[in-house]
Amino acid sequence: MQHPRQLPTTRVLPAPTSTVNEASAPKVRILALVVLALVAVCVYAVDQFAKFLVVENLTERQSVEVIGQFVQFYFVKNAGAAFSLGSGSTWIFAIIATAVAIFIVIFAPRIRSLAWAVLFGLLLGGNLGNLTDRLFREPGFGVGHVIDFIQLQYFPAIFNVADMAIVASMVVFVVLTVRGVALNGTRTVASKKATVDATTTDIS
C-alpha cells in the first residue's frame, strides 16, 4: 500500500525584531538627546570662543601663519553663507538657519541612534554658531556678518568652526546612509540581507 506523498512544508520565519528593546527605548531616546545636546553645546561654545579670540586679537584681512602657508588665520566678516558663499543675502540665511534649528529641536525626540544624535548635534551647534553672528553682530539684527578666519592653502573659501561642524555632519550623514543605519539605530541593509539569507536557506 502506497502512502500519499507528503508535500514539502514551508516554515514561516518570524519577523526580524528591532535591536532596541521596547522596555529600554525611553532610556535610549534620553541618551540620544543628551548626546545631541552635549555635541551641540560643545560645537557652539568652541565656535563662539574662537570667534571672540579672533575679533579681540586679529586685525581684519591680515594673515597669520599657523602651519606655514598651508593653514593660516585670515580674519574676514562674511555676509553670506558657509565658506563665504552667497554674500548679500544674509537675512535669507538667517531665516533658513532659524528654520533648521527649530526643525532639529522638534525632530530630536525621534532619534534613537547615538550616531544620528552626533550628526544632528554637529548640525545644530554649527547652525546656531553662525546664526548667533547673523542675529547679534554688526551691521544689525538678522543681517550681521559671520566671523570667518580659517584659510587653507589652495582652498577657495575662508571658514570657521561652525562651518567645519556643518560639513562634518554632512559627512556623517553620507556614512550612515550608505551603511543603512536608521534613526532608531537598526541597520536596514543588514536586516534585509539577513532576511534574504534566511529565506534562501529555508527553501534549500
Catalytic residues: 148, 163
**SS3 assignment, position 73:** strand
| Full DSSP string of 8-36 | PP-PPPPPPPPSS-GGGHHHHHHHHHHHH
Match 543603512 to its residue by C-alpha cell: 180
CA distances from 83 to 19, 166, 177 (A): 40, 11, 25
Distance CA 160, CA 25 (A): 37
What cell numbers appear for 145 in the block?
556678518
